[in-house]
Structure formats: structure tokens, C-alpha cells
């Protein structure tokens, strides 16, 4: 981290007993764009800097041709095995269930969730998962069934807390009401997409629900797939990464306005656009944004943002720049 950075202050995740540093490492790169050696270096650097939550999913990175799913969890499990039991006590593992893992292997039914959690535990080489999240809503499974199996996992000790990822406001509220009515463990956190380019999914009704129900918010896509790092400035930059092909649509007048404001504030704080983009998400009241990196140098820029304090007028400038 930069010399001006302060040690990360941990925050309670919703009503759980989990204390989370203000940035979560996005494990979607592990075993994919970061090989085993790079992954171990990234995880070591992340924890050594005082941060503690790793976010992954059973489906990472099944959506990439040539991969089968489980790669990210397996890398974390291999890293834990190398580092020993003391490391497990220093970190929080958040993983997810529900995306397609093969024929008949998806969703949030009790039967499938029981199978999936045991597979995740084996890949992660751990006896428990700190935060087990529904990767997305499953309208084909009754909320009562999903709530019951998640409660079962918490009571068995396989899972410490549960969360919801990519849920709409109405379904999340219904899930919370279902758990409360049945006296079951309820979601303690939500994981929506949220960044300077994508604000509407969280701001408004979902944000109000999270505040009202005291839910922790772990925002994914905090850097918009790398666009907010400033790495993609013109057509020639789109070939810089496997995600570059998707960046052209973001480089419109609004995208350029956001990048310009990030550059200005980065100069003021003697840091990077990456750090400013992360700092903005935290300033908007999120518990901890999720961001990934494929090198330790990139990771340090991300971590700087988690210990950066933006002034109210700086947050307002970013709000204006990113307004639709």
C-alpha cells in the first residue's frame, strides 16, 4: 500500500459475527488469468496487508471455454494447505452456489445445495465456509425450501453465515420475510453489482432495504471489469486483456467524464484512478467492495482505495460525473 495508507479497519457484516476489512478479494481470477504461482502471491500479499475476506464461487470459472468450474475454490484450498491451519484462522472465505455446474447441477433446491456445499468444502480444504451465498435467485425453488437448507447448513456448522448475490429487491425482501416467519437463519448480506458506471442496480430501493434490514453490502464489479482503472482509453487498448473486447461500449461521453474526474482526484491524492474508484464505493456506504487483480502491483492500487478517505466534495464530483 502507499505510504499515506492507514491499516484497514474491519466492519461487522450485517448482523453476523463476521468482521470484514473494507475490501474483499475477488477470486474469479484465481486459476484463470492468475495461475497457481501468481494466485498464491496475490493471496499472500492481500492477507499480509491486513485484509481478510476472499470471495469465490463454485462456478468460477466454468463460463470460460476449457474450464469446468471449481478452479478458483481449488486454488484457495491448495493455498490454505500450503500455508497451514494458522492461515485459516486469519481469513474469511465467502463462496457461492446456484450457477450451472452441469446437467441437473444448478439452482437453490435443498438436494442440490447439500451436494454443492460438500463439494465446495472439499475443494476449499476447510471444515466450514464463513459466508455461503446464493449466487442468484432461483424462482423455481420455493423460498421456504432454500431458507430451510441454508439454516440447516448453519446449524450443522458447515456455514457460519449466509448471503444473497444478484437478488432483486422484491425477492430479497420476500426471502428475508420467509426466514423471519419460519424462525430460520436469514441472509446477513447482499452482493449487488455497484460501481461508478453501474449505480441503478443498488441505489434506491435495494439500498433502502439493506439499510432498513441492517444487511451488509459486498459490492461486486467495483472496477467495472477494469474500465475504472483507466486502462482502456481508446480502441488500441481493448486488446490489453481478455475483458478488453467488452470495454468499447463504456468509452462514451459518460465513461470519459468519469475517467477524467478519476484522473483529477488521483492527482490530488497522489494515487491511482483505481484507488479513487474503490474509495468512492466505500464512501457511498458499502461494507466492502469486491475487486480482483492479477499482479501484486495491481493489488496494491486496489488496497490503497480501501484506506483512502475522499472529501464530501470529491464524492459529489464523482456523483456528478457518473450521473446518467
Contact indicator for 261, 321 with CB cutoff of 8 Å: yes
Q: Is 156 exposed, middle or buried (0-12, 13-18, 19+ CB in 10 A)?
A: exposed
Supply angle C-alpha 202, 223, 255, rounded to 5: 85
Task: Assign 3-class secondary structure to the chain.
Answer: CCCCCCCCCCEECCCCCCEECCCEEEHHHECCCECHHHHHHHHHHHHHCCCCEEECCCCCCCCCCCCCCCHHHHHHHHHHHHHCHHHHHHCEEEEEECCCCCCCCCCCCHHHHHHHHHHHHHHHCCCCEEEEEECCCCCCCCHHHHHHHHHHHHHHCCEEEEEEECCCHHHHHHHHHHHHHHCCCCCCEEECECCCCCCCCCCCHHHHHHHHCCCEECCECCCHHHHHHCCCCCHHHHHHCCCHHHCHHHCCHHHHHHHHHHHHHHHHHCCCHHHHHHHHHHHCCCCCCEECCCCHHHHHHHHHHHCCCCCHHHHHHHHHHHCC
Q: Which of 60, 112, 132, 187 is catalytic?
A: 60
Look at the block and give the residue holding cell 477470486: 27
Let me know if 60 is a catalytic residue: yes
Active site residues: 60
Amino acid at each position: 500500500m502507499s505510504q499515506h495508507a492507514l491499516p484497514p479497519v474491519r466492519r461487522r457484516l450485517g448482523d453476523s459475527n463476521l468482521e470484514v476489512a473494507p475490501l474483499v478479494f475477488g477470486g474469479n481470477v484465481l486459476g484463470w488469468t492468475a495461475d497457481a504461482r501468481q494466485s498464491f502471491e496475490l493471496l499472500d500479499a492481500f492477507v499480509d496487508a491486513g485484509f481478510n475476506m476472499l470471495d469465490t464461487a463454485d462456478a468460477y470459472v466454468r463460463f470460460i471455454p476449457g474450464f469446468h468450474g471449481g478452479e478458483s475454490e481449488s486454488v484457495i484450498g491448495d493455498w490454505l494447505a500450503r500455508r497451514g491451519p494458522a492461515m485459516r484462522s486469519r481469513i474469511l472465505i465467502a463462496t457461492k452456489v446456484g450457477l450451472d455446474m452441469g446437467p441437473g447441477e444448478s439452482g437453490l433446491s435443498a438436494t442440490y445445495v447439500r451436494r454443492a456445499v460438500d463439494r465446495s468444502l472439499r475443494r476449499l480444504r476447510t471444515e466450514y465456509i464463513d459466508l455461503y451465498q446464493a449466487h442468484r435467485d432461483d424462482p423455481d425453488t420455493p423460498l421456504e425450501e432454500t431458507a430451510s437448507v441454508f439454516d440447516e447448513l448453519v446449524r450443522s456448522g458447515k456455514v457460519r453465515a449466509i448471503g444473497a448475490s444478484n437478488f432483486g429487491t422484491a425477492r430479497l425482501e420476500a426471502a428475508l420475510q420467509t426466514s423471519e416467519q419460519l424462525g430460520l437463519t436469514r441472509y446477513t448480506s447482499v452482493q449487488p453489482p455497484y460501481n461508478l458506471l453501474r449505480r441503478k442496480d443498488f441505489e434506491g430501493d435495494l439500498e433502502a432495504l439493506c439499510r432498513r434490514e441492517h444487511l451488509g453490502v459486498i459490492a461486486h464489479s467495483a472496477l467495472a471489469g477494469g474500465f475504472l482503472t483507466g486502462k482502456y482509453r481508446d480502441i488500441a487498448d481493448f486488446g490489453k486483456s481478455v475483458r478488453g473486447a467488452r470495454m468499447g461500449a463504456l468509452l462514451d461521453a459518460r465513461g470519459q467524464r468519469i475517467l477524467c474526474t478519476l484522473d483529477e482526484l488521483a492527482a490530488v491524492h497522489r494515487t491511482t484512478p483505481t484507488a479513487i474508484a474503490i474509495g468512492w464505493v466505500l464512501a457511498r456506504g458499502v461494507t466492502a467492495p469486491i475487486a480482483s487483480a492479477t499482479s501484486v502491483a495491481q493489488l496494491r492500487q486496489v488496497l490503497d482505495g480501501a484506506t483512502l478517505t475522499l472529501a464530501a466534495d470529491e464524492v459529489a464530483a464523482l456523483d456528478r460525473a457518473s450521473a446518467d
